[in-house]
Amino acid sequence: MQRFLPVLQQDNVDPQLTSLINTLMVACKEISFRLQQGELAGILGTSQEENIQGETQKKLDIISNQLIKDILLESDLVRAIASEEEDYIVAGSPNGRYLVCFDPLDGSSNIDINSLVGTIFSIMEVPEGQEGANEEMFLQPGTAQVAAGYVLYGPSTQLALTTGNGVRLFTYDNTIGEFLLTQEKMTIVEDTAEFAINMSNQRFWQAPMQNYINDLLAGNTGTRDKNFNMRWIAAMVGDVHRVLCRGGLFAYPTDAKNPEKPYKLRLMYEANPMSFLVEQAGGVSSTGYERIMSIQPTEIHQRVAVVLGSKNEVNTCLSYHK
């Protein structure tokens, strides 16, 4: 099996970008190790802190953030970072060429039950001619991403990565400390009979989503004339991974549960990188009304509605929104 670095070199990925992703993986390997230690390392449970979004941080949210932040800010290639767990952007090297957005630990409510979590990342370039570091630089649409991916800390640790030439899946071999290529090209099947959504929010969704999901639930007794199955990992990284592996539709739609927070997932470090992967694997990713990667961001922590996955099924869902 081929190792991570030669695979990207053969694909003519910019050597600096390759080096940056490799650096990021050093932190992810460390997170993977700590997660395996779990309770033994005393890293489970909740901290006393809240992030800017008013969410209580888990100890591992803070540890993972620190590991990634430290290693990225040491790199000459990184101009600045934006993280779910940092209120503001953090400046790195004045000559750095890249901007990195990340969710250091996605699905953190799964930590204490020893279940799936992951790290999601998105890499962009500093717009030409811009000096210093500011939030403005980050406000580029998802189409500007030069790389995106996630590391899933599951029974095995895996990296799904795109640099704009398809999606590759690597599996971490901890006996040699390397990610090895285990799937050259991930493609999302176009049709599916599986969906993932937090059904407890059903009564808070808008009419198009209610109608669409009702038709899925009606199965072969309804207009779809086909039975559907439901899966929900409660970590976007796990749900999107399943969609990449065997197809499906994943949605976190607009809801009216808390009028101040109509959307759950964050554009810059959840929706955009996942959309890049999904599109590169032949799937579709939308808010219900527009392509996620075309959204012009207005701030680094903004949230967005998400419907993504198997092309034909997502398009069916979108037709309810027209």
Q: What residues line the site for Mn ion (CB under 5 A)?
A: 84, 103, 105-106
Counting every residue written for the chain, the total comes to: 322
Q: Which does 172 bind (CB under 5 to 8 A by kind): ligand AHG, Mn ion, none?
A: none
| 234 part of the interface to ligand AHG, by CB under 6 A | yes
List 29, 59, 79, 264, residue binding ligand AHG (CB under 6 A)? 264
Q: Which does 142 bind (CB under 5 to 8 A by kind): ligand AHG, Mn ion, none?
A: none
Stretch that binds ligand AHG, among 101-109, 145-153, 273-281, 311-319 (CB under 6 A): 101-109
CB 103, min distance to Mn ion, A? 4
CB 266, min distance to ligand AHG, A? 8
- Helices 311-320, 207-218: axis angle to 10 degrees equals 130
The residue among 210, 287, 197 whose CA lies nearest residue 243 is 197
Spatial separation of the C-alpha atoms in residues 18 and 50, rounded to whole Å: 34
Q: Which does 264 bind (CB under 5 to 8 A by kind): Mn ion, ligand AHG, none?
A: ligand AHG
Q: In this complex, which beta carbon is closest to ligand AHG, that of residue 17 or of residue 236? A: 236
Spatial separation of the C-alpha atoms in residues 22 and 13, rounded to whole Å: 12
Residue type for 175, please? Answer: T
| 240 part of the interface to ligand AHG, by CB under 6 A | no
Q: In this complex, which beta carbon is closest to Mn ion, that of residue 267 or of residue 293? A: 267
Spatial separation of the C-alpha atoms in residues 274 and 50, rounded to whole Å: 25
CB 85, min distance to ligand AHG, A? 9
Residue type for 275, please? Answer: S
Q: What 3-state DSSP class applies to 120? A: strand
CA–CA distances in Å: residue 28 to residues 4, 103, 104, 105, 314? 14, 12, 9, 10, 31
Pairing mode, strands 194-196 and 229-230: parallel
48 φ/ψ angles, rounded to the nearest 5 degrees: -90, 0
Spatial separation of the C-alpha atoms in residues 170 and 161, rounded to whole Å: 8
CB 95, min distance to Mn ion, A? 29
Q: Which does 60 bind (CB under 5 to 8 A by kind): Mn ion, ligand AHG, none?
A: none
CB 59, min distance to ligand AHG, A? 13
Q: In this complex, which beta carbon is closest to ligand AHG, that of residue 4 or of residue 153? A: 153
Q: In this complex, which beta carbon is closest to ligand AHG, that of residue 71 or of residue 234? A: 234
User: Tokens representing 92?
Assistant: 């790195």
Unique residue bearing structure tokens 């970072």: 81
Q: Which does 198 bind (CB under 5 to 8 A by kind): ligand AHG, Mn ion, none?
A: ligand AHG
Q: How many residues bind ligand AHG (CB under 6 A)?
A: 11
- Angle 215-238-78 (CA atoms, 0-180°, nearest 5)? 125
CB 230, min distance to ligand AHG, A? 14
| 108 part of the interface to ligand AHG, by CB under 6 A | yes
| 85 part of the interface to ligand AHG, by CB under 6 A | no
- Angle 296-20-237 (CA atoms, 0-180°, nearest 5)? 60
Q: In this complex, which beta carbon is closest to ligand AHG, that of residue 26 or of residue 199? A: 199
Stretch that binds ligand AHG, among 72-80, 229-237, 280-288, 294-302 (CB under 6 A): 229-237
| 198 part of the interface to ligand AHG, by CB under 6 A | yes
Residue type for 163, please? Answer: T
**Is residue 48 within a helix (H) or strand (E), and if so which, with residue range?**
strand 46-50
Q: What 3-state DSSP class applies to 213? A: helix
Give residues in contact with ligand AHG (CB under 6 A).
Answer: 84, 103, 106-108, 198, 234-236, 252, 264
